[in-house]
């Protein structure tokens, strides 16, 4: 029985929403409170106090993601006018618009962490910040568009789904929206590939040739194996899975779906090891990954130059938005 007149604090102080590190405390004390909140699965919001290390780590992660969304539309954009039917043109246009939209959402998250958008564009175009390896390669045939939308997006979504639980609240919420939209892209890409695989021998060979070229970059995409205990982003729960966990997950879901179409995966060592419960595969070319992401890939410079020209050509729009409206008289 409770006494309705009781005014003493009689309930246990269990308030998961409490944010004691926001109080004015010595740095070490704050840091400790902040960290125990994050390690217990708590979320961080933009107005919270956060250690510089955390802010920088989230910003770096989100900025790289935003850059990749922005640069990632360029290979696909090249095929809008060459898509084989009106419906494919519309779907591809919508996908490109989605990805630019994702870049917008992610740059917003990054901006709120303290780096202005213009500074992020400056750094991207100057080669100071990076974008994902897969967007540094040329698209040679229509089958590339199918492979990118299906498998590149699939590899990305494996990572992105794990980010829906990121400790940084605005990023986690943004990823929920992005994942919802990405699921359509995968269907679009798989439909392009499956359609080609029911076509002529030439069309089937075209898909196989595209897969042969894209498999290496796909296996490199999540990055080399890393030490879980040394990964700051994992420690802060900015991301939830290691690169190897993501790659394994991707292989488990997509290898059967690739093989059932009669495609051959260009890796003779690829096999599921029942003993370890893991996929074995030929060691990806990490030297290629390093070369490519430092903007020495086959299309790096051309795509960055496109962005530079594009930025200059659209400057008048940004100026117009910020200028005084002209008088009607």
Site residues for other proteins per CB under 8 A? 1-4, 6-11, 13, 15, 17-19, 47, 97-98, 101, 104-105, 108, 111-112, 117, 173-174, 177, 181, 321-325
Q: Kindly state the tokens that stand for 191.
A: 């439909």
For other proteins, which is the closer residue by CB, 1 or 287?
A: 1
Q: Are 197 and 258 in contact (CB under 8 A)?
A: no
CB atoms within 10 A of CB 60: 18
Distance CA 291, CA 297 (A): 6
Closest CB 94 distance from other proteins, rounded Å = 8
Closest CB 262 distance from other proteins, rounded Å = 34
Closest CB 22 distance from other proteins, rounded Å = 9
Q: Kindly state the tokens that stand for 311.
A: 């930025």
For other proteins, which is the closer residue by CB, 46 or 256?
A: 46
Distance CA 103, CA 60 (A): 14
Q: Is 168 helix (H, G, I), strand (E, B) or coil?
A: strand
> Taking the alpha carbons of 106, 110, 116, 121 in that order, is the dihedral positive or negative?
negative
Would you call 319 exposed, middle or buried from its count of C-beta atoms within 10 A (0-12, 13-18, 19+)? exposed
Closest CB 322 distance from other proteins, rounded Å = 5
Closest CB 6 distance from other proteins, rounded Å = 5
For other proteins, which is the closer residue by CB, 55 or 173?
A: 173
DSSP per-residue letters across 42-88:
--B-TTS---HHHHHHHHHHHHHHHHHHHHHHHHHHTTTTT-SSHHH
For other proteins, which is the closer residue by CB, 140 or 177?
A: 177
Q: Kindly state the tokens that stand for 211.
A: 């897969």
For other proteins, which is the closer residue by CB, 64 or 94?
A: 94
Closest CB 314 distance from other proteins, rounded Å = 15
Distance CA 155, CA 180 (A): 15
For other proteins, which is the closer residue by CB, 14 or 198?
A: 14
For other proteins, which is the closer residue by CB, 280 or 318?
A: 318
Distance CA 91, CA 97 (A): 10
Distance CA 80, CA 261 (A): 25
Closest CB 317 distance from other proteins, rounded Å = 11
């Amino acid at each position: 029985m409770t006494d309705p007149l009781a005014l003493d604090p009689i309930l246990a102080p269990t308030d998961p929403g409490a944010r004691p590190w926001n109080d004015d405390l010595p740095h070490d004390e704050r840091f400790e409170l902040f960290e125990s909140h994050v390690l217990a699965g708590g979320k961080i919001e933009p107005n919270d106090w956060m250690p510089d290390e955390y802010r920088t780590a989230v910003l770096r992660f989100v900025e790289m993601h935003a850059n990749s969304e922005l640069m990632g539309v360029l290979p696909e954009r090249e095929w809008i006018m060459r898509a084989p039917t009106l419906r494919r043109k519309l779907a591809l246009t919508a996908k490109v618009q989605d990805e630019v939209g994702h870049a917008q959402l992610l740059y917003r998250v990054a901006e709120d962490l303290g780096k202005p958008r213009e500074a992020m564009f400056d750094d991207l175009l100057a080669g100071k910040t990076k974008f994902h390896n897969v967007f540094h390669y040329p698209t040679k045939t229509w089958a590339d568009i199918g492979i990118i939308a299906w498998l590149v997006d699939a590899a990305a979504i494996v990572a992105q789904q794990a980010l829906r639980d990121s400790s940084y609240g605005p990023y986690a919420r943004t990823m929920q929206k992005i994942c919802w939209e990405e699921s359509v892209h995968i269907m679009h890409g798989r439909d392009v590939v499956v359609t080609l695989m029911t076509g002529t021998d030439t069309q089937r060979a075209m898909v196989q040739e595209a897969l042969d070229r894209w498999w290496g970059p796909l296996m490199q995409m999540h990055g080399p194996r890393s030490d879980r205990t040394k990964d700051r982003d994992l420690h802060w729960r900015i991301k939830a899975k290691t690169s190897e966990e993501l790659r394994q997950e991707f292989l488990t879901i997509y290898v059967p779906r690739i093989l059932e179409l009669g495609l051959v995966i260009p890796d003779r060592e690829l096999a599921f090891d029942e003993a370890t419960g893991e996929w074995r595969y030929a060691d990806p070319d990490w030297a290629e990954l390093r070369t490519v992401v430092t903007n020495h890939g086959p299309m790096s410079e051309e795509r960055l130059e496109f962005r530079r020209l594009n930025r200059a050509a659209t400057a008048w729009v940004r100026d117009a938005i910020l200028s005084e409206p002209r008088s009607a008289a």
